[in-house]
Every structure is written in structure tokens, then in C-alpha cells.
């Protein structure tokens, strides 16, 4: 740091020199008007000093040694409590790293120990570069001196590192420049408000441009006073650390936290740990992953029973000021004693009145951990609790993702079993390479399947779509016909003929891509034409307004028959679902069971009942040994969808009849076959992409060609038409072999 500071000072555009003249001037002003023997004596001393060329003019290195006694006297004016052991300070020339005077306590703390102060971690994080900081410091001095303000103080937190990496100490350094003069020469000083604003914004570039410091000189001395803020700074730093995401994720993070706790509590041999209270603790090593007892060889159940249960139950701290050998009577205490622990504290961390974790404090010295420790750390507990909850939420979210990945949505009656398996999976994953998710097994259960289907719903849905689309095409065509009859506009006639052809096609039946193609034609071609006429000719405004009034505001299409159909289906589904939910609660009280339901056009449900629904644990099955082939399949759907998370079903699904046809296609295409061959489209080692429109074909063909150029797909790209399926028509596909 010293070398970097010296380089930064050397690069400054201004000059700086040591001078006692500002100090002499301030000393005389302090005693001016006083008519007593002491003041007269001080004046004589100051007169004699000012007669010394080495003190009244430029000060050389030799002068500091030559006039050491005089300088010592002057420093007593700077530090009136110089003899006090609490006085920690130094004096240096402006913009230099080395000081020429220091108090006895400063010498004892820093010079005799050979420890060089460092910038604190918080300051280092904000520090862009020393050159910029020193330049801003110079502008601050210029501002305060020129406008005769009393800021005069810049506070910096300095760190005194422990060479043994046990207890670091922190000091607040107050830099005062009340004994500094500035000669700005011909420099035009900015107006006070503008100058102040640029300093607040730390806009170094603007300051340099508007007020370059070339030719400016600073003359005087800077005093630095130190006060210890170890506890306050460590708490502040620890709070900042805990706010960061992942602050408690690794053992190194816990060790860093422990290092700061040592400094706060002044316990050099402190060990700290955390025990977290997850939804499931059995089989979850993350609970004690960061505990000081994480390597305890006994059973985890005994560990909780003997140590943590009391704190979790009472939500009160528990302290053992002196740990004594129990000769095997208490396994945990014996383990602590054998590992050097002599005092222990367990402090509950709470959230909403509930204990979420226990902070462990252990010292190898008796009576070092007590209620006093808890009081000193009380300010940290809320932030630490938040950090703990964040890490717990992270793991529990991962558990939920594992369950969803391996087990899909589950019912609360068996959630406990899935959570245990997920915690176990995460604890083992990464330790011994890739591992399997535990099989979830419930033996001897009785299945019951039921469905409440809305008959002919697919036909009704297609008829609703067809009716709305026909109405919109007809309304647009009649509007165009009237426009063309009153004013011969060829494009209006073209649109009319095209829409008439579309309406004839819809009347015969809908293919999968027809609805999107026809709506796109209306919205991208016809409706912009309507808007143009409405803006340029009032003659057609009323007729065109009638067309747009029929459109659903959120969708921009006619959505009348479909809305009626959807509301009817929703009412039936809501009634059926509500009835099933109520009856399932009653059935659950009779006997534990697994229940799941599916809501499409109607409701389907499964129930599994049996003795094994009562809580149980299953062991891992052998690793998978049978190689399986994959048949990758992609469905292209270029129109946007709306998805909705249905709380009662614990899964996402598309919303509304307008988009439900996408779900129908998804359910059918896994068994799709190529037209005229009867062969399945999906094949092992082949990438298949299903689409409905030519623009999708052109886009994905280019992707296939790109992958072929990269050597990932075979260049022989196949194009197929697929057999019609129930409710799904007009599908086509691209297929190519994957190069392994």
C-alpha cells in the first residue's frame, strides 16, 4: 500500500510542502487579546521559533531533527492531551505517506510492533484508485479553505491486521487540514453551489476540466487522530457480509464470520458455528453442515436431543461457562472436552418468534463465553437470521425442484417422504459423483381412478372457435365490401376476396395452422388498412368502429362463443373441483391416502390407499445399468401463449380456450406417424421438429443447416407430412440424424 500511495502522490498535478506557518498563525490567533504571563511566555517562544529559518520557511529533512524539541512543543498545541495514553495521533506533510511526529501511544501500537495500517475492507471496496481519491481530497481541501468552512475533517477506517490472523483491530482516522494554506494562483474557483455539487457527486473528471490544479500549491501540515472502533467496524462489516447472497453457503464464509466474531468478543480462540432448523432435519446433513459439532461421530438424533432441542424448544440462550470431563456420561460433552472446548454458548436466532437456527460459540478457555457475549452480538442477530433464512430457502427451493424434477407434483399427505428423499439426494450429490434420486415406494396400496368428463367438449370447443372466426371474417369482409362499393380501392377488393376464401375454408373445417394464419392476415394487413381509412376519411369511421367494437379488448379478436364455452367449462370444473376437495378432506381423516386430480375439460382424479401411506423410509435401489435411447422432439408454436399456475393442481398450464389447442397437440404428438407409412416420427438418435406453418419451416430449416455445418446433425434433412390425429390436423415435421 505504501508504494502505491507514494506513486499516487508523485503523480499529483499540484505541489505540496511541509510548513509550520499556518500553525504559528493559528497559535497566535488563539492567544491574541490575552494579557497574562502564560500568553506572554508562549508569544516569546513562538517569536524565537519563527526566527528559525528551518521552522518559519521551507522545512527540510535535517530541520526536523535539528528542531525536534521545538517541534515537540508545537505538537502540544496540536494535541493538548499529548501525555494521555488514549491520545493516538500523527502529523505529516500534505500529500505524503510518512509522518514526522507521532504520539507515544501511536508509537506503541504501530511503530514498535512493526504493523502497517491498511485501508479497511469496506473502504477498499469503494476505492476506485488512490490517484482519484487524493485528487478529490485536494479539491475538498481547496473548497473548505477557499470558502472558509469548518469541514476540515475526512474520516477513514484503517485496519490493524493481526499477524496470527486471530483478532484484527480497526481505527477511525480523522484527517484534519486546519493547518494547511492553499495558493490557487490564477485559478478561477467555481461558484460555491456548483463546486459543492461536483464534490458530492465525486465528479473528478468535471472538476479537472473546469478547475485544473496545475500550478496550485498546498503548504502546511495535516494531523491525523485515531480512535479504536474495532467492535463497531466488525459489526458493520459483518452486517454487510451477511447481506450478500451466499454469505453462509460455504465453510470459508463461516470461518470469515468467526474471524470477525473473535474481534468483536475479543476471544482469540473462538470457534463459531450454525445449526439450521429446516422443514426436515432427519437425513439432512445441511442442518449441521456448519456446526462446530459437524464431525461428531455419534448419532445425529442424540446430538439434537442432548444439545439443541432445549434451545429450539425454549427459544432461550444456553451457556456452559466451564466444560468438565464427564467420563463417558455425556457423549457430546466428552467430545467437546476432548477437542479442547472449555466454554460454550448456544444462542437462538429467531424469525417471527420462531427459532430458525442456533449460533454456536465455543472457546478453549473457561468463562470466555457468557450472557455478555450475547449482549455484544445482539445487534447482529436480526441480520444473521435473515441470512440464515435466505440460505434455508435456497436449499428448500432446491429440494422442491428435485422433487418436481423426479416426482412431478405431489400431494401434501406424502410430501414428507419426498422431502426426505430430496434432502438426502442433495446431501449425497457431488460427494461420490453422480447419484440417483431415491425411489419413492408405497407398497400394497389400492388405486381408485375416476373422471368426470364434459361430453363432446372437443367438438364444442372447435365449433366455438369456428363460429368466432367466421363472424370476424364475415364482419371484416362486409366492411371491405361497403368501402369498395363507395370508393373503388383495389386493395379493399383484394382483401374482400381473400377473406371470402378464408371464410369458405373455415366453414368446411379448421386445420391446425388456419386460425393463426387468418388472424395474422386480419391484424397485419386488413386492420392497419381500416385504421388508415378511419384517420383519413370520416366517411368510413362509423362502419370501421363497429368492426373494432366487436373485438375482445385483451385479445384483439372476436371472443364471444369461446368465452361462453370457457365460462361454462370453468363453472362445471369449479363445482366439480370444489366438491372433490371437500370430500377428499373427509376421506383423508378416515385413512391416509394419496390424492391427485387433473382438470382439463372436466376433472380426472387418482386415489391410492394402503398401510404404506403411514410414514416410512426406503433404501436406495441399485444404480441404473440398462442403457436407454432418447428420441428428441420439439414442437414449434410461434404464437404467444398465456400460462397460469393453478394452486389446486400445483402445476402450470395454458389459460383459456384460445390457447388450449396447443395443449391438445402436445398430448398427441408423442405417437405421431408419417403420412402413408404408418411409421413413428420420433426415432432414437433422430431430432424431430413439428410445425404447422411455412414460415416456421423456413426458420427451423436454417437452424438444421447450421447444426449440420457444425457437425452436430447429418446433412440429410428430411421433411414429412404427419397423419391426422384426433382434433389435430395439418402437422408437418423436419427430421435429421444426430451425429454423436
Rounded average pLDDT over 719-723 = 89
Domain range for 705: 626-740
**Which of 619, 645, 670 is the last residue in one of the domains?**
619
**Domain assignment present for 630:** yes
**Domain assignment present for 418:** no
Q: What is the pLDDT of residue 452?
A: 52
CA 156 to chain centre: 30
Which of 83-97, 415-429, 670-684 shows the lowest mean pLDDT across its residues? 415-429
Of the two residues 437 and 24, the one the predictor is more confident about is 24
**Domain assignment present for 406:** no
Q: What is the pLDDT of residue 412?
A: 60
Distance separating alpha carbons of residues 148 and 596, to the nearest angstrom: 78
Average pLDDT taken over every residue of the chain: 77
Distance separating alpha carbons of residues 725 and 730, to the nearest angstrom: 9
124/163 same-domain check: yes
pLDDT tens for each residue of 239-266: 877 777 667 777 888 888 888 888 888 8
Of the two residues 655 and 186, the one the predictor is more confident about is 186
30/162 same-domain check: yes
pLDDT tens for each residue of 581-639: 777 777 776 666 666 665 655 555 555 454 433 422 222 223 322 222 446 677 776 66
Of the two residues 327 and 621, the one the predictor is more confident about is 327
pLDDT tens for each residue of 539-598: 878 888 888 888 887 778 888 887 777 777 776 667 667 766 777 777 776 666 666 665
C-alpha cell at 722: 404427419
| pLDDT tops 80 at residue 286 | no
216/252 same-domain check: no
Rounded average pLDDT over 659-684 = 74
C-alpha cell at 333: 460433552
Q: What is the pLDDT of residue 219?
A: 92
| pLDDT tops 60 at residue 662 | no
Distance separating alpha carbons of residues 350 and 357, to the nearest angstrom: 7
Residue 190 confidence class, pLDDT cut points 50, 70, 90: very high
Angle, helix 230-243 to helix 381-407, in steps of 10 degrees: 20
What three-state secondary structure class fits 181? strand
- Write out the H or E segment, with its range, that includes residue 172: strand 169-183
216/240 same-domain check: no
**Domain assignment present for 417:** no
**Domain assignment present for 420:** no
Total structural domains within the chain: 4
Residue 403 confidence class, pLDDT cut points 50, 70, 90: low
708/589 same-domain check: no
* SS3 letters across 104-144: HHHHHHHHCCCCCCEECHHHHHHCCCHHHHHHHHHHHHHHH
Residue 191 confidence class, pLDDT cut points 50, 70, 90: very high
213/359 same-domain check: no
Which residues, in sequence order, are CB contacts of 407 under 8 Å at separation 6+?
418, 440
314/332 same-domain check: yes
Which residues, in sequence order, are CB contacts of 160 under 8 Å at separation 6+?
109, 110, 115, 117, 118, 168, 169, 170, 171
Highest-confidence segment of 131-135, 320-324, 361-365: 361-365
Residue 327 confidence class, pLDDT cut points 50, 70, 90: low
Residue 409's nearest CA partner among 667, 657, 645 is 645
Q: What is the pLDDT of residue 189?
A: 92
Residue in the block written with cell 517562544: 45
Distance separating alpha carbons of residues 324 and 120, to the nearest angstrom: 40
Q: What is the pLDDT of residue 624?
A: 22
Residue 725 confidence class, pLDDT cut points 50, 70, 90: confident
182/264 same-domain check: no
In this structure, the number of other CB atoms found within 10 A of the CB of residue 14 comes to: 20
C-alpha cell at 534: 378511419
| pLDDT tops 80 at residue 398 | no
714/740 same-domain check: yes
What three-state secondary structure class fits 267? coil
| pLDDT tops 90 at residue 206 | yes
Q: What is the pLDDT of residue 495?
A: 83
Q: What is the pLDDT of residue 667?
A: 64
CB 555 within 8 A of CB 549: no
597/660 same-domain check: no
Percent of the chain with pLDDT over 90: 5
**Domain assignment present for 402:** no
Distance separating alpha carbons of residues 534 and 532, to the nearest angstrom: 5
**Which of 397, 424, 454 is the last residue in one of the domains?**
397
Rounded average pLDDT over 218-228 = 90
**Domain assignment present for 379:** yes
pLDDT tens for each residue of 441-477: 555 454 443 445 454 566 777 878 888 888 888 888 8
Q: What is the pLDDT of residue 387?
A: 84
pLDDT tens for each residue of 485-518: 777 778 888 888 888 888 888 787 777 677 788 8
199/68 same-domain check: yes
Q: What is the pLDDT of residue 37?
A: 62
191/252 same-domain check: no
Q: What is the pLDDT of residue 658?
A: 45
**Domain assignment present for 423:** no
What three-state secondary structure class fits 275? strand
**Which of 362, 380, 397 is the last residue in one of the domains?**
397
* SS3 letters across 401-468: HHHHHHHCCCCHHHHHHHHHHHHHHHHHCCCCCCCCCCCCCCCCCEEEEEEEECCCHHHHHHHHHHHH
Long-range contacts for 579-582 (Cβ within 8 Å, ≥24 apart)?
580/605, 581/648
| pLDDT tops 50 at residue 652 | no
| Buried b / exposed e along 479-517 (16+ C-beta atoms within 10 A) | bbbebbeeeeeeebeebbebbeebbeebeeebbbbbbeb
pLDDT tens for each residue of 356-392: 888 889 999 888 888 888 888 888 888 888 888 888 8
Strand pairing category for 732-737 and 718-721: antiparallel
Amino acid at each position: 500500500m505504501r508504494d502505491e500511495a507514494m506513486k499516487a502522490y508523485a503523480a499529483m498535478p499540484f505541489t505540496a510542502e511541509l510548513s509550520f506557518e499556518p500553525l504559528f498563525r493559528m497559535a497566535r490567533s488563539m492567544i491574541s487579546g490575552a494579557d497574562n504571563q502564560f500568553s506572554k511566555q508562549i508569544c516569546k517562544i513562538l517569536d524565537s521559533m519563527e526566527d528559525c529559518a528551518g521552522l518559519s520557511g521551507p522545512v527540510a529533512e535535517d530541520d526536523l531533527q535539528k528542531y525536534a524539541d521545538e517541534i515537540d512543543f508545537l505538537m502540544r498545541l496540536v494535541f493538548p492531551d499529548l501525555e494521555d495514553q488514549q491520545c493516538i495521533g500523527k502529523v505529516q506533510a500534505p500529500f505524503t505517506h510518512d509522518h514526522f511526529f507521532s504520539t507515544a501511544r501511536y508509537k506503541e501500537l504501530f511503530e514498535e510492533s512493526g504493523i502497517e495500517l491498511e485501508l479497511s475492507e469496506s473502504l477498499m471496496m469503494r476505492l476506485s484508485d488512490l490517484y482519484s481519491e487524493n485528487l478529490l481530497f485536494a479539491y475538498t481541501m481547496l473548497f473548505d479553505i477557499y470558502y472558509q468552512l469548518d469541514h476540515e475533517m475526512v474520516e477513514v477506517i484503517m485496519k490493524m491486521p493481526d499477524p496470527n490472523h486471530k483478532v484484527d483491530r480497526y481505527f477511525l482516522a480523522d484527517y484534519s487540514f486546519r493547518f494547511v494554506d492553499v495558493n490557487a494562483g490564477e485559478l478561477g474557483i467555481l461558484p460555491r453551489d456548483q463546486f459543492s455539487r461536483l464534490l458530492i457527486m465525486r465528479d473528478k473528471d468535471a472538476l479537472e476540466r473546469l478547475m485544473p490544479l496545475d500550478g496550485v500549491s498546498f503548504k502546511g501540515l495535516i494531523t491525523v487522530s485515531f480512535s479504536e472502533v474495532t467492535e463497531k467496524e466488525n459489526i458493520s462489516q459483518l452486517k454487510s457480509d451477511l447481506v450478500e447472497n451466499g454469505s453462509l453457503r460455504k465453510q470459508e464464509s463461516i470461518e470469515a464470520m468467526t474471524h470477525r466474531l473473535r474481534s468483536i468478543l475479543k476471544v482469540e480462540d473462538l470457534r463459531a458455528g450454525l445449526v439450521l432448523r429446516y422443514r426436515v432435519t432427519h437425513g439432512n446433513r445441511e442442518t449441521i453442515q456448519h456446526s462446530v459439532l459437524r464431525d461428531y461421530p455419534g448419532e445425529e438424533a442424540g446430538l439434537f436431543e442432548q444439545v439443541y432441542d432445549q434451545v429450539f424448544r425454549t427459544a432461550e440462550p444456553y451457556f456452559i461457562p466451564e466444560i468438565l470431563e464427564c467420563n463417558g456420561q455425556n457423549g457430546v460433552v466428552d467430545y467437546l472436552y476432548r477437542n479442547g472446548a472449555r466454554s460454550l454458548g448456544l444462542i437462538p436466532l429467531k424469525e417471527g418468534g420462531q427459532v430458525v437456527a442456533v449460533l454456536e460459540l465455543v472457546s478453549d478457555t473457561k468463562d470466555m463465553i457468557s450472557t455478555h457475549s450475547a449482549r455484544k452480538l445482539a445487534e447482529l442477530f436480526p441480520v444473521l437470521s435473515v441470512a440464515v433464512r435466505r440460505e434455508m430457502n435456497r436449499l428448500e427451493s432446491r429440494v422442491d425442484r428435485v422433487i418436481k424434477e423426479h416426482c412431478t407434483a405431489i400431494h401434501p399427505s406424502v410430501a414428507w417422504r419426498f422431502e426426505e428423499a430430496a434432502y438426502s439426494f442433495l446431501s449425497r450429490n457431488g460427494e461420490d459423483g453422480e447419484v440417483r434420486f431415491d425411489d419413492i415406494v408405497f407398497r400394497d396400496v389400492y388405486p381408485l381412478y375416476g373422471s368426470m368428463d364434459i361430453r363432446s367438449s372437443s367438438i364444442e370447443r372447435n365449433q366455438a372457435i369456428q363460429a368466432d372466426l367466421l363472424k370476424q371474417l364475415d364482419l371484416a369482409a362486409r366492411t371491405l365490401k361497403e368501402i369498395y362499393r363507395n370508393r373503388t380501392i383495389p386493395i379493399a377488393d383484394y382483401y374482400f376476396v381473400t377473406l371470402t376464401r378464408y371464410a369458405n375454408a373455415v366453414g368446411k373445417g379448421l386445420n391446425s395452422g388456419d386460425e393463426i394464419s387468418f388472424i395474422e392476415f386480419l391484424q397485419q394487413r386488413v386492420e392497419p388498412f381500416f385504421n388508415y381509412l378511419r384517420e383519413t376519411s370520416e366517411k368510413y369511421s362509423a362502419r370501421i368502429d363497429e368492426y373494432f367494437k366487436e373485438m375482445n379488448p385483451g385479445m384483439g379478436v372476436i371472443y364471444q362463443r369461446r368465452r361462453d364455452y370457457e365460462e361454462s367449462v370453468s363453472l362445471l370444473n369449479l363445482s366439480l373441483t370444489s366438491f372433490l376437495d371437500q370430500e377428499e378432506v373427509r376421506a383423508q381423516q378416515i385413512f391416509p391416502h394419496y390424492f391427485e386430480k387433473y382438470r382439463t375439460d372436466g376433472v380426472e382424479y387418482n386415489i391410492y390407499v394402503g398401510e404404506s401411506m403411514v410414514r416410512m423410509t426406503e433404501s436406495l435401489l441399485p444404480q441404473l445399468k440398462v442403457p436407454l435411447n432418447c428420441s428428441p422432439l420439439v414442437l414449434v408454436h410461434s404464437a404467444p401463449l398465456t400460462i397460469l399456475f393453478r394452486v389446486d393442481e400445483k402445476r402450470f398450464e395454458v389459460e383459456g380456450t384460445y390457447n388450449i389447442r396447443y395443449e391438445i397437440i402436445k398430448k398427441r404428438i408423442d405417437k405421431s406417424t408419417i403420412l402413408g407409412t404408418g411409421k413413428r416420427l420420433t426415432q432414437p438418435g433422430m431430432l424431430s421438429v413439428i410445425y404447422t406453418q411455412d414460415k416456421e419451416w423456413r426458420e427451423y430449416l436454417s437452424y438444421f443447416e447450421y447444426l449440420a455445418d457444425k457437425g452436430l446433425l447429418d446433412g440429410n434433412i428430411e421433411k414429412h407430412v404427419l397423419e391426422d390425429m384426433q382434433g389435430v390436423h395439418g402437422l408437418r415435421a423436419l427430421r435429421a440424424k444426430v451425429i454423436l
